[in-house]
Amino acid sequence: MIKTPFGTYNGDSWEEHCQIILKMKYENEGYQEMTAHTNGDLGIEGFTRSGIVFQCYCPDNEYETKVYYNHQRDKVTKDLKKLKTYKKQLLNYFRNIKIKKWIFLTPKIPNKDLIAHCHSKAIELREDDSMKELLDVEFDVLAHDENFYVTEILRAKNILNQKVKFDVEIPSEEEIIDWRQCQSESIITLSNKIEKLFPDSDKEKKQKQVNKYVNIQIRNYIKGQELLNKMQQTYNLSYEKQARIKSTIADHLETESLITDLSPKKFIEKTMEKYRAALIGEKFDEQFEFSVYENLLHEAVASWLIDCPLDFGGED
């Protein structure tokens, strides 16, 4: 199975996924699905009346970059050969339409050498006189990952009532220790703030509670930053929305923390609720799974404690 920000796929589920998004994107260009069950695999999954053909590919396993590339490269080479092998059958489908683009649609492209390979194969086929009846003079071979079809993927998920999730690993203990060592000044500031959350504990118990809560905030921060990076890459509009909400709340936190009558714990709860309500107001709960906007919420609190002058003026 291959995991991406938009889903988890094997060969069959990826092909089904591709057919949905291609029918959406190219409906006005007369997209036609080519099922392998009718006349065998002709090297394409579908085509448009404007001369674009598509071949979908997803390996059934995760591979390291070089092996992944080798599988993709070999698949491109193998299926492009089928254009020549099945030229006669393909001409029956295309009639007077010449193929302008052959697009290799795959979940992700970890090695840019695939782009060079596609370009090389395009030149090779353009120079093959036996293919001139089928191919346009500007015939090209392109590799697309799913980021080319974000709009269609979101539409499909909405229609199928599927919410978006991100697979973000919990930071290891080593990562948390490394972060603490690299951000010693931030740790001092964070610890001083968090001490106010545990005013009634004895000294030894309080120190354990503070250390544990500091580690939780670091974990939330690291995990949240990774989530935000993935969101920025694939859902940039949503990323920008949450950034504006987070920034607006942060702008007023210092003033609110100085004049509030709430205890530090209650003030954090109130701030979290305000941010959660703002995210829900922007329909984050409809677009993303619960885990996504909850992780955003905890990242925001951690970053406000670490990066901005949020402090607590009251006592428990």
Task: Check if the beta carbon of residue 310 is closer than 8 Å to that of residue 254.
Answer: yes
pTM: 0.59
Residues whose CB falls within 8 Å of the CB of residue 185, separated by 6 or more in sequence, listed in order? none
The answer to whether residues 116 and 16 belong to one domain is: yes
Of the candidates 54, 69, 169, the residue with the CA atom closest to the CA atom of residue 112: 69
The answer to whether residues 137 and 190 belong to one domain is: no
The answer to whether residues 22 and 145 belong to one domain is: yes
The answer to whether residue 165 is domain-embedded is no
The answer to whether residue 279 is domain-embedded is yes
The answer to whether residues 277 and 179 belong to one domain is: yes
The answer to whether residues 150 and 37 belong to one domain is: yes
The answer to whether residues 15 and 68 belong to one domain is: yes
The answer to whether residue 69 is domain-embedded is yes
* pLDDT tens per residue across all 316 residues of the chain: 888 878 888 888 899 889 999 999 999 999 999 876 555 568 899 999 999 999 999 988 888 999 999 999 999 999 999 999 999 999 988 888 999 999 999 999 999 999 999 999 999 999 999 999 999 999 999 999 998 998 888 788 776 667 788 888 899 999 999 998 888 888 888 888 888 888 776 788 888 888 899 999 999 999 999 999 988 877 888 889 999 999 999 888 888 888 888 888 888 899 999 999 999 998 888 788 888 989 999 999 999 888 765 667 544 4
The answer to whether residues 150 and 58 belong to one domain is: yes
The answer to whether residues 117 and 233 belong to one domain is: no
- What is the per-residue pLDDT for 310? 63
Task: Check if the beta carbon of residue 187 is closer than 8 Å to that of residue 214.
Answer: yes
The answer to whether residue 313 is domain-embedded is no
- What is the per-residue pLDDT for 95? 84
The answer to whether residue 168 is domain-embedded is no
The total number of structural domains in the chain stands at 2
State which residues form the domain around 288: 173-307
- As beta bridge partners, residue 140 has 101
The answer to whether residues 11 and 149 belong to one domain is: yes
Structure tokens at 158: 């909405």
Q: Rounded to an integer, what distance in angstroms lies between the CA atom of residue 241 and that of residue 35?
A: 41
The answer to whether residues 110 and 195 belong to one domain is: no
Backbone angles phi, psi at 233, to 5 degrees: -70, -35
Collect contacts of 170-176 with beta carbons under 8 A, ≥24 apart: 170/219, 170/223, 171/218, 171/219, 171/222, 171/223, 175/222, 176/215, 176/218, 176/219, 176/222
